[in-house]
Amino acid sequence: MTSLSKTILLVDDDQEIRDLLNTYLSRAGFTVRAVGDGLGFRASLALEPADLVILDVQLPDEDGFSLCRWVRQHPRFAHVPIIMLTASSDEADRVIGLELGADDYLGKPFSPRELQARIKALLRRAQFGQERPVSDVLAFDDWRLDQVSHRLFHLDGEEVFLSGADFALLKLFLDHPQQILDRDTIGNATRGRDLMPLDRIVDMAVSRLRQRLRDTGKAPRLIRTVRGSGYLLAASVTPHLGNAV
């Protein structure tokens, strides 16, 4: 995958950081749009889509968490990968960002080279998710997953928009139904980082996906915990002809 023609929307109130990353990422072949607050971010994304968002947590008018939530709830942007930047060393910030649907996070100060590597990894994953599958729609339990739009549909008509990380994890389970997936395998799919214990990353990702699938009882029915081993999707998966709904 080449970075050419890939557009990055950078949101940070620090002018020096915006100038630095604009220069660095532009030299790497990306098209960069940079804004300094939440209002500018909403306007820029509504005006023109982006392939990836770099979102600072602390902004003058609106925090990055609420903006991340807004992106994930918006049908047009729900699939866009988000990297959150945080100046706080508090693990709670990273947990909140991941729970809201951020795909990755990076603490300040950071290396532009490391940021570029994470950008490329997320764009590769997004491109892989957009490759046309043999069947556009997969059926499992009472759900239908549209693999092209990354939208999830329940038989009762509810439509769920998945983040990139949610889609990657669900697709992993659907590709391996009735099989135990260990934490290392799931961690690779959800892009866990060594800044947080792998088990915590995996458990959070699975918990978030269970919420999407209404599988939140004391004994989850769809995604089951196999103690000491990992998780298992307890459902048959079949190609679904026609639309997801």
User: What pLDDT shows up at residue 1?
Assistant: 42
DSSP state of 163: P
Residues 199 and 119 grouped into a single domain: no
Residues 14 and 124 grouped into a single domain: yes
Q: Give the count of domains, the chain.
A: 2
One-letter amino acid at 50 equals A
Quick one: average pLDDT of 175-184?
91
192 or 234, which is more confident?
234
User: What pLDDT shows up at residue 166?
Assistant: 86
Position 202 pLDDT exceeds 60: yes
Q: For residue range 9-48, what is the model confidence (pLDDT) as tens digits?
A: 999 999 999 999 999 999 999 999 999 999 999 999 999 9
* pTM score of the predicted model: 0.65
Q: For residue range 123-166, what is the model confidence (pLDDT) as tens digits?
A: 887 765 555 445 688 999 999 998 877 889 999 989 988 877 78
Residues 116 and 158 grouped into a single domain: no
Residues 55 and 118 grouped into a single domain: yes
DSSP state of 88: -
Q: What is the CATH number of the domain that holds 153?
A: 1.10.10.10
The residue from 130, 159, 192 where one domain ends is: 130
Residues 17 and 89 grouped into a single domain: yes
Residue 1 lies in a domain: no
Q: What is the CATH number of the domain that holds 40?
A: 3.40.50.2300
Residue 245 lies in a domain: no
| Domain extent for 232 | 137-240
The residue from 105, 130, 155 where one domain ends is: 130
Residue 192: enclosing H or E segment and its boundaries?
Answer: none
The residue from 130, 162, 182 where one domain ends is: 130
Q: How confident is the model at residue 73 (pLDDT cuts 50, 70, 90)?
A: confident
| First and final C-alpha spacing in the chain | 32
Residue 2 lies in a domain: no
Sequence-separated (6 or more) residues with CB below 8 Å from residue 20: 112
Residues 106 and 45 grouped into a single domain: yes
User: What pLDDT shows up at residue 198?
Assistant: 59
Sequence-separated (6 or more) residues with CB below 8 Å from residue 164: 79, 80, 81, 103, 122, 125, 126, 129, 150
In the block, residue with structure tokens 């764009």? 123
Residues 13 and 102 grouped into a single domain: yes
- Residues 74, 96: Cα–Cα separation, whole Å: 19
